[in-house]
Amino acid sequence: MELNDGNLQTLTEYLRKTLNPDPTVRRPAEKFLESVEGNQNYPLLLLTLLEKSQDNVIRVCAAVTFKNYIKRNWRIVEDEPNKISDADRTAIKANIINLMLSSPEQIQKQLSDAISIIGREDFPQKWPDLLTEMVTRFRSGDFHIINGVLRTAHSLFKRYRHEFKSNELWTEIKLVLDTFALPLTELFKATIDLCQTHANDVSALKVLFSSLTLISKLFYSLNFQDLPEFFEDNMETWMTNFHGLLTLDNKLLQTDDEEEAGLLELLKSQICDNAALYAQKYDEEFQPYLPRFVTAIWGLLVSTGQEVKYDLLVSNAIQFLASVCERPHYKHLFEDQNTLTSICEKVIVPNMEFRSADEEAFEDNSEEYIRRDLEGSDIDTRRRAACDLVRGLCKFFEGPVTAIFSGYVNSMLTEYAKNPGQNWKHKDAAIYLVTSLASKAQTQKHGITQANELVNLTEFFVNHILPDLKSSNVNEFPVLKADAIKYVMIFRSQLPKEQLLQAVPLLITHLQAESTVEHTYAAHALERLFTMRGPNNATLITSAEMAPFTEQLLTNLFKALSLPGSAENEYIMKAIMRSFSLLQEAIVPYIPSLIGQLTHKLLLVSKNPSKPHFNHYLFESLCLSVRITCKANPATVSSFEEALFPVFTEILQNDVQEFLPYVFQVMSLLLEIHSNSIPASYMALFPHLLQPILWERTGNIPPLVRLLQAYLEKGGAAIATSAADKIPGLLGVFQKLIASKANDHQGFYLLNSIIENMPPESITQYRRQIFILLFQRLQNSKTTKFIKSFLVFVNLYCAKYGAIALQEIFDSIQTKMFGMVLEKIIIPEVQKVSGAVEKKICAVGIIKILTECPAMMDTEYTKLWTPLLQALIGLFELPEDDSIPDDEHFIDIEDAPGYQTAFSQLAFAGRKEHDPIGDAVGNPKILLAQSLHKLSTACPGRVPSMLSTSLNADALKFLQGYLQAANVQLV
């Protein structure tokens, strides 16, 4: 694509169409842009538009499109084409910083993100001058430019907060510190001075304070991994100024907005974070500064109001106190009973109150409320921070803290009892206090795993939780009902089983509550209870114990999906999946009516998939319905196909990318249930499954391979007769997969199924070419994973077609090739094969080579006979060799570029492990003994003499054991 006005005009028109709400206009435009993004100059056209277009909407749209393009294509993935030409890469890196710094803020943010994506891949090796180019801009004095640099640096360095330690990381951080730490410190001091100069200029202060917040964030990232020498030497400068900023109160920066945090709050929140980091990780060096920070932060907490805009500041300030109070050598700061009472009274209790803002969120923004309260993303909420502080204090002062709070809890519950309608918030706070006091350790899987002995959880459950659950009106006091349900959920491992069983029917009733939070919590609590394990690893609650409630449970769960706000509620769908899994055949009578509801739901969500977890559990529930029903009666598979195929056809025709991997898995499950034939409806689809476009997407590969394997297993012969023209297409898929280090094992799965299930004559003409492709790959890039798969395939081929066929095909490709493969690959590498079935295949193949291949006895291959036998005995007796060569950084399949639909394995669509050798060979060691006996009777004297001359003593001892076990002798 040339950089000319015509192309810029075309691109502008298509970008405008991508903003059109009408999908018939929008989708074709998106598809067009996708089709041209591989062309050279495409990214440069976008950059030209975002710089020069007269239309602001187009500029922003070009910036977002450019960022997403970089996100999708910048990373170079091994074995995959490089999507951006080298010339474009160089041009982008040469221009993007200037462009970012001269653009308005909306565009600057997008380009800043793009720079950090490029930096993640290319900095420092392929973009060495990035930092120097950025640092020189600090001198410009223009804070629009400086903030652009700081924002980019922040998005570039924030990954240091969660990267694992490695030499590579240290080297990079050192390089950054050498270039960046001093200019950043100078900028910090200069900015603080400017704040004093412009103390009365509100617009200047806004810019300066946003700079200070970014500088503080950078400080956090650069100090996270370890305390750099530079910052240790300059701690006085940083900490004195941080302390000054914490105590600063500039009236001009105070905002009227009660919701949105202002610049002052954001800066102070970040400084609390920085102080907490130093108190936790570098307490020795930080000790001289700690008392003044404790005083300043305590002062902040006592004087800050309850408005939402202060939430981040208050929670970070409390987190600071929490991180300090659990360190042994700061214990003395908190020992005094008055200090503890004061903290409890002035910081913890007020921040546990259920505010009107929380009530609004509970009613009107339930999704966000649930995300914060249930999934622990409420890291920056006051309640979570207060809860952490209680936990921190309990580490050293469990007795006194529990005593102080018990008083509060009792007085709150008394207040509630006086007038429940008026005072229900008191009970809410009491439940929250008990929860935070009682919980010492918590996991997602088991809820609270360690509790405070001083709190009687069972008594509190009976007296204060159960009455709310039993209340006849599920819609009265929804917040307290949600609290009660949450209590059962988080203390499920601490409460006795009879109380959990008492709670189950009550929770089922709460699924009908109008409040989204309440019925969601009920679904989540049931799902968690159903996963609990009892003795001998069975589920704690059994299907039999659920029998009286089964119908009500299924009815209420499905009804809950039609309540307002819960049409795609992932917790309800997960509870449906878990209920099916627990109840097993008890659901069979209900499936005919439920499957219709599930497929209808699938049809609706496939129009616009937006909730990945909901969709995943929906497909899991479909798989369970199929599995459980067809286990009882395999003939019912056709009724599932009738229900599902129309929806699947629509999904395939509309190319709903997110759903294709799921559809292929469910189809595999259905096809595997059929007895040995492929129904016509599947045969009609077969050619479409070989279309190259489907195989371009990494997420499709595992489920498609499995589906093709199901086709081959159920009807290899049918494919050979009625779809013989498709065999080259099938082998084309194998060829594509084998070329990729990430997917070569999938290529072997397919190849093994072809060898095992296709009639031999149907693939005779292709066999030699298959081996040539494998040898080419061995020559070009030999990885451990490839060799393991190659060994299994070669031995499966030998087990299927015989050792003579294997030797002849190798030697027809190149003379003496058979000996080379034995000597260079099979003998030295077979110890690496893992997995019982894989080892069995290799054993059977090698036994055939040893005992059914005349060339092994009478040619130059004979010298390999004993080493091969020795390798086989090693496979039986030695531990698996799981070493991987140093130079082989294994490519993880998940490393595929992030935007692609990743493959999500459906747990309940799992494939049973398949053994191609089957019962024909029970114990390969006995087979070896019997086969050697047979060989020795055919050529007497040869086998014992070969053994006695060159087999090592240990191996010989094992071999004699096999011969005895098989009750045979060598002659």
Mean pLDDT of 857-872: 93
Q: What is the pLDDT of residue 326?
A: 85
Residue appearing with tokens 């040995």: 676
State how far the Cα of 670 lies from the Cα of 440, in Å rounded to an integer. Answer: 46
Q: What is the pLDDT of residue 453?
A: 73
pLDDT band per the 50, 70, 90 thresholds, residue 542: very high
Say if residues 962 and 925 touch (Cβ distance below 8 Å). yes
Say if residues 910 and 861 touch (Cβ distance below 8 Å). no
Q: What is the pLDDT of residue 897?
A: 31
State how far the Cα of 712 lies from the Cα of 678, in Å rounded to an integer. Answer: 9
Q: What is the pLDDT of residue 887?
A: 56
pLDDT band per the 50, 70, 90 thresholds, residue 81: confident
- Whether 910 shows a pLDDT value over 90: the answer reads no
Task: Give the residue from 726, 672, 737, 729 showing the smallest Cα distance to 700.
Answer: 737
* Residue 873 counted as domain residue: no
Mean pLDDT of 240-261: 87
Tokens of 571: 């917790």
State the DSSP code for 439.
E
* Residue 69 counted as domain residue: yes
Q: What per-residue string of b and e applies to 180-202 under the rule 16 or more CB within 10 Å gives b?
A: bbebbbebbeebbebbeeeeeee
CB atoms within 10 A of CB 924: 22
Mean pLDDT of 548-567: 97
Mean pLDDT of 558-565: 96
Mean pLDDT of 584-598: 95
Tokens of 909: 């669509």
- DSSP line for 918-966: GGG-S-HHHHHHHHHHHHHHHSTTHHHHHHHHHS-HHHHHHHHHHHHHH
pLDDT band per the 50, 70, 90 thresholds, residue 376: low
- Whether 901 shows a pLDDT value over 50: the answer reads no
* C-alpha 576 chain-centroid distance: 22
**Residue 145 phi, psi dihedral angles, 5° rounding:** -70, -45
Say if residues 294 and 333 touch (Cβ distance below 8 Å). yes
State how far the Cα of 815 lies from the Cα of 347, in Å rounded to an integer. Answer: 84
Q: What is the pLDDT of residue 380?
A: 67
What's the start-to-end Cα distance of the chain, in Å?
78
- Whether 884 shows a pLDDT value over 80: the answer reads no
Q: What is the pLDDT of residue 706?
A: 95
* Residue 118 counted as domain residue: yes
Q: What is the pLDDT of residue 377?
A: 59
Task: Give the rounded percent of residues in the chain with a pLDDT score beyond 90.
Answer: 75
Tokens of 827: 């003998």
Q: What is the pLDDT of residue 446?
A: 66
State how far the Cα of 34 lies from the Cα of 481, in Å rounded to an integer. Answer: 50
| Tens digit of each residue's pLDDT (9 = 90 or more) over 453-474 | 767 889 999 999 999 999 999 9
* Residue 561 counted as domain residue: no
Mean pLDDT of 872-879: 94
Q: What is the pLDDT of residue 441?
A: 60
Q: What is the pLDDT of residue 898?
A: 31
Q: Is 42 exposed, middle or buried (0-12, 13-18, 19+ CB in 10 A)?
A: buried
| Tens digit of each residue's pLDDT (9 = 90 or more) over 197-233 | 998 999 999 999 999 999 999 999 999 999 999 999 9
Non-local (6+) Cβ contacts of 496 within 8 A are: 458
- Whether 185 shows a pLDDT value over 50: the answer reads yes
* Residue 74 counted as domain residue: yes
Task: Give the residue from 629, 614, 722 showing the smallest Cα distance to 669.
Answer: 629
* Residue 19 counted as domain residue: yes
Non-local (6+) Cβ contacts of 858 within 8 A are: none
Average pLDDT, the chain: 91
State how far the Cα of 141 lies from the Cα of 207, in Å rounded to an integer. Answer: 12
Domain span holding position 39: 1-122
- Whether 418 shows a pLDDT value over 90: the answer reads yes
Q: What is the pLDDT of residue 82?
A: 87
Q: What is the pLDDT of residue 683?
A: 92
Which conformational region is residue 918 in: left (phi greater than 0), alpha (psi within -120 to 50 degrees), or beta?
A: left
Mean pLDDT of 812-827: 95
- Whether 333 shows a pLDDT value over 90: the answer reads no
Mean pLDDT of 486-508: 95
| Tens digit of each residue's pLDDT (9 = 90 or more) over 746-801 | 999 999 999 999 999 999 999 999 999 999 999 988 899 999 999 999 999 999 99
Mean pLDDT of 293-305: 91
- Whether 894 shows a pLDDT value over 70: the answer reads no
| Tens digit of each residue's pLDDT (9 = 90 or more) over 431-451 | 999 988 887 666 666 666 667
Say if residues 393 and 340 touch (Cβ distance below 8 Å). yes
| Tens digit of each residue's pLDDT (9 = 90 or more) over 912-937 | 888 888 888 889 999 999 999 999 99
Q: What is the pLDDT of residue 971?
A: 87
Q: What is the pLDDT of residue 745?
A: 94
Q: What is the pLDDT of residue 252?
A: 82
- Whether 271 shows a pLDDT value over 50: the answer reads yes
Q: What per-residue string of b and e applies to 605-643 under the rule 16 or more CB within 10 Å gives b?
A: bbeebeeeebbbbbbbbbbbbbbbbbeeeeebbeebbeb
pLDDT band per the 50, 70, 90 thresholds, residue 357: confident
Q: What per-residue string of b and e applies to 73-109 under the rule 16 or more CB within 10 Å gives b?
A: bbbebeeeeebbeeebbeebbeebbebbbebeeebbb
* Residue 96 counted as domain residue: yes
* Residue 10 counted as domain residue: yes
- Whether 886 shows a pLDDT value over 70: the answer reads no
pLDDT band per the 50, 70, 90 thresholds, residue 820: very high
State how far the Cα of 235 lies from the Cα of 426, in Å rounded to an integer. Answer: 45
State how far the Cα of 598 lies from the Cα of 797, in Å rounded to an integer. Answer: 43
Mean pLDDT of 2-22: 93
Total of domains in the chain: 1
